[in-house]
Amino acid sequence: MIKKNDLILIGAVIILGLGIIFFINVTKTEGSKVLITIDGKEYDTFPLDEDTTFTVELDNGEYNTFVIKDGQVDMTEASCPDKVCVRHKEIHYNNETIVCLPNNVVLQIIGGEEDEIDAIAK
Ligand SMILES: [Zn+2]
């Protein structure tokens, strides 16, 4: 026999669960572009919906190669000694980054809805 208080509790749990799902969906927005930053300067952006392979070549001969495939960005090759960026999992959520500290190269996912709201506000 289910009591009235149990139903209220179940209802509260369901609402909380939906709230958490909603919150995750809002904070984990899919990005639409990847921004390449070198030495803190914006270098280029690429759309995530076009599969491509691109090598960032630095003036000092270092390089970072990344692949855009199925809307995900993955660093596949780099000249840096630690290869932290190569080992990083692929990214696609808004504001996710792959950072290559030795080469000072940053890949950042942008173009999610939050960014656009920001851009309008500025
Ligand atoms: Zn690296």
Report CA dihedral (76, 68, 84, 97) to the nearest 10 degrees: 170
- Within a domain: residue 45? yes
Ligand 1 centroid to residue 29 C-alpha, Å = 26
Are residues 61 and 78 in contact, defined by beta-carbon separation less than 8 angstroms?
no
Range of the domain at 73: 33-121
Residue type, 14: I
- Higher-pLDDT residue of 17, 20: 17
| pLDDT at residue 115, as a whole number | 46
Question: How many whole angstroms from 69 Cα to the centroid of ligand 1?
Answer: 20
- The CATH number assigned to the domain holding 62 equals 2.60.320.10
Report the predicted TM-score, pTM, of the whole model to 2 decimal places. Answer: 0.72
Domain count, the chain: 1
- Give residue 67 CA to ligand 1 midpoint distance, Å: 14
pLDDT digits 0-9 by tens, 40-92: 999 999 999 999 999 999 999 999 999 999 999 999 999 999 999 999 999 99
Neighbours of ion ligand 1 (CB under 5 A): 78, 80, 85, 100
